[in-house]
Amino acid sequence: MSRPRVGIIGNSYLLDDSYPVHANGTMNSEAIADVSGCLPLMIPADPRFVSVEELLEAFDGFLLTGGRPNVHPNEYGEPATEAHGAFDRARDAITLPLVRACVERGQPFFGICRGFQEVNVAMGGTLYPEIRDLPGRMNHRMPPNGTLEEKFALRHHVNFIPDGPFARLFGSEQVMTNTLHGQGINQPGQRVVIDGQAEDDTPEAIYVKDAPGFTMAVQWHPEYRAPTDPISRPLFEAFGEAVHNWTQA
């Protein structure tokens, strides 16, 4: 029996600063294949190559990955500044309408880091350009130096709403996570529920209220060591179950 197909949103890069490519972190594919039990396939997130309608028919679920470029602030009614960093307008053009379509159809998606922010913006929310500049906030950015293990090390707690979907999934109202992001949610979008927050009140876990499908998204990176990590694994297992259920609906 063939595995359900999960489209993994790819990011645009320049290889050797000259050759345009779409890329996806291996750990994303590993999490989808080994934990979610699905077939991982990368999507070149660019409307020149794919349409939202085609993607909805070709895939059973979607993984909205992290990435260095940020959602363009024009998408939430603000001017771009240097603090907003780099952008990927082609990815914006695919992922934002894709999120809205999935919410309406009940088709499952799982958002990570930039994907978490995409879910909020797609539903009409806004973002802060730089969390660490806000009074009382921690620096959530990835450490500039160190090994991969050091960059993805657990750095802060996330506290969940008692008896909310994340607390039920983890069997706990508090977990420790990594943190590798500069931007974050300012105003939540329509129907976006902030279910988990860091110790400095930065939103870290959301879902779309009353959506018929899986809409969980997290600001941290659960794809790191997903097969063995006790917090990452339940997320990808739940997403995989939702994708399998979609194929049988």
3.40.50.880, 1.10.1240.10, 3.30.460.10, 3.40.50.720: which CATH number matches 5-248?
3.40.50.880
Q: Which of 181, 190, 180 is nearest to 76 (CA)?
A: 190
What's the mean per-residue pLDDT of the chain? 96
Q: Which of 67, 65, 99, 63 is nearest to 85 (CA)?
A: 67
Region 226-247 average pLDDT:
97
Q: What is the pLDDT of residue 166?
A: 98
Among 75, 118, 130, 223, which one carries the catalytic annotation? 223
Q: What is the pLDDT of residue 143?
A: 83
Among 113, 118, 130, 140, which one carries the catalytic annotation? 113
- In the residue annotation, 38 being an active-site residue is answered as no
- In the residue annotation, 72 being an active-site residue is answered as no
3-state secondary structure of 167: helix
Between CA 68 and CA 85 the distance in angstroms is 9
Query: Domains of the chain: which residue ranges?
Result: 5-248
pLDDT in tens, 68-124: 899 999 999 999 988 888 899 999 999 999 999 999 999 999 999 999 999 999 999
DSSP helix, strand, coil percent of the chain (3-state; round to 5): 30, 25, 45
Cβ atoms 149, 141 nearer than 8 A: no
Q: Which of 122, 113, 114, 115 is nearest to 75 (CA)?
A: 122
- In the residue annotation, 30 being an active-site residue is answered as no
pLDDT in tens, 10-51: 999 899 999 999 999 999 999 999 999 999 999 999 999 999
